[in-house]
Chains A and B, each alone.
Chain A
Amino acid sequence: MSDRRPTPRTYGVLAIPVTVLAVFFLVPFGMMVAASFYRRIEGGFYEPAFLLDSWRRLFSEVFIERAAFSIGISLLAGALCIAIAFPFTYFLTRMRRRPHVALLILVLSALSLSEVIVGFTWSVLLGRAAGISNILVWLGLMDEAAAYQPGFVAVLLGLSYIAFPYCVLTLYPSLTRLDREVTEAAQTLGASPWRTFWTVVVPVSRPIIMAGFLLVFVFTLGSYLIAAILGRPGHWTLSVFISDQASFNANVPFAAAMAIFLTALSLAVVGLVVAIESRTRRLA
């Protein structure tokens, strides 16, 4: 497809979207980098300066603790997601068309749910008033309704819920391409479907699993509302911290410094994904 020589008009057409992206993405990003060096003024504003105060705060104990917690819970949610999403997607790609499409629509509908809605639905489900414990009480398995949120498990479940559809969608293209002949060959040679899954499908898919896991990790790292709704302040993630500093605490320079740290972290992980994918392609 990409065989034609560009003409000056081609560059004219190309210049429009590139300019829009440059003005409304690169320029704001650059201004944010600059703002991280500015001086904060009490009352919500900031003035140009060259201070390293905000950057120095990145090495404070509170921030390191927050960052470690965010990374930890995102890794955990990513692992949980991939453990369920990988077999699910594998089975999905081997279904007949009708259930296949129906399940994909369910996954996409869950994907499009606002984080605020996911947070709210889980807070209901894990809450005392109308939650899962009421069903247990109703069944006679429990004496009294209990609340499971806010708490660490609630945040973890919420994060897994929002990340799960993304996880399925990143695994989906590669798993539909997984050569059916390979699994059929294993079974012809006498391997049970279970053994085929563990000794053929999973090892062949290791790079896909790794890439999917890392993408889900970046995604949950960016989650804001789940931790804000389902967690106590101790469960806040970096995104909550950043927007809290930018809005309620009115400390834009510090928020900017944290955002740049988050950018670097995300880019590093995305770079890892790209490296894994290009290596897989070279081997294939």
Chain B
Amino acid sequence: MRPLKWFVTAFTIVFLFAPLLVVAIVSINENRYMDFPPEGFSLAWYTALWTDPAWRASIGRSLTIALAGATLAVAVATPLAYVLRAYRIRLAPLLYSLGILPFMLPPVISALGMQVFWNATGHVGRIENVVIAHAIFFSTLPLITISLAMETMDPSLREAAQTLGASPRTTFRTITFPLLVPSMVTGFAAAFVLSLNEYIIAFLVAGFSVETLPIKIFNGLRYGFTPTIAAVTVVFIAVAGTVFTLAAMFGNLLRFLGADPSILEREPAAEARARAAEEVPERVPAAV
């Protein structure tokens, strides 16, 4: 069993890393062709990312779309997840499915629907069209993380606050909402990173006028290779790795991936209980 364990793990790591490694090597090649082994060492293709206005513009566009799209996605998902899990709503399963559906279906379906929709409104080829399309498609991710946080939240925390005299509004503000923040951050991070990398929706909604980074890379591939493509790939991988490392450090990544609570060392509910204990006693006199 041991050899199998090492073989499978090593195989997976090599499989996941191999193409990244090759691209990293190509990105520091001195001339503008793909060579292996590389000839010379140069960071020129990285500086080109910042000096070339075309690359800079599409990086800016992609970041704008990802930031606005992920924010909007969290804004849509939070009230939906909260109300569906905190109240007895008759159509809850149906409404939850509505939130899950866009992401569950192949993206080309959302893409084509959005294309037809914006064509009909005459509001065509704008960056905000892409923002809205991404917000809807990726809102599923924060919806899942926030719903999960609502389900695993210890109900005694809220009951304790209310017994001690906190109004529902205060309970939400001081107990429920702070407990939901890590799940909102995780959902935001996932939506942000995936939006940054999304191609087909951005392309069908406004691909001919809003050239996002993935669209620019693909167009670049079609009209001939430049090592800048390899450089931007390396930057992307670095960004993704950083975002998820941060999420693992501050957002309790394992729990949002659905790990069994028993394998986690840190129990966030204990912290929340401590915070609730600090804040609620101020209101005790009113209750008495």
Give me the interface of A with B, judged by CB distance under 8 Å.
Answer: 1-6, 10, 13-14, 16-18, 20-22, 24-29, 31-32, 35, 84, 87-88, 91-93, 97, 100-101, 103-110, 112-125, 127, 129-132, 134-135, 138, 161, 164, 169, 172-173, 176-177, 192-194, 197, 218, 221-222, 224-225, 229, 239, 242-243, 246-247, 252, 255-256, 259, 262-263, 266-267, 270
Q: Chain B nearest CB: distance from A261 CB in Å?
A: 10
The reply on B204 being an interface residue by CB < 8 A is yes
Asked if B19 contacts A125 (CB within 8 A), the reply is: yes
Asked if B116 contacts A131 (CB within 8 A), the reply is: no
C-alpha gap A101/B88 in the complex (Å): 36
Most buried by A among B20, B116, B153: B116
- Could you show 11 A-B contacts with beta carbons less than 8 Å apart? A2-B87, A2-B89, A6-B83, A21-B139, A28-B110, A93-B263, A120-B23, A224-B199, A229-B221, A243-B108, A243-B203
Asked if A121 contacts B257 (CB within 8 A), the reply is: no
Give me the interface of B with A, judged by CB distance under 8 Å.
Answer: 1-2, 4-5, 8-9, 11-13, 15-20, 22-23, 25-26, 33-38, 76-77, 79-80, 82-89, 92, 95, 98-99, 101-102, 104-117, 120, 132-133, 135-136, 139, 150-151, 153, 155, 193-194, 196-200, 203-204, 207, 214, 217-218, 221, 229-230, 233, 236-237, 240-241, 243-245, 248, 253-254, 257-260, 263, 265
B245: A residues at CB distance < 8 A:
105
Q: Chain B nearest CB: distance from A47 CB in Å?
A: 12
A263: B residues at CB distance < 8 A:
105-106, 109
Q: Chain A nearest CB: distance from B274 CB in Å?
A: 21
B17: A residues at CB distance < 8 A:
106
With both beta carbons as reference points, the residue of chain A lying nearest to B6 in the complex is identified as A91
B248: A residues at CB distance < 8 A:
101, 104-105
Asked if B260 contacts A120 (CB within 8 A), the reply is: no
Q: A31-B116, A243-B204, A259-B108 are in contact. Are A17 and B85 (CB under 8 A)?
A: no
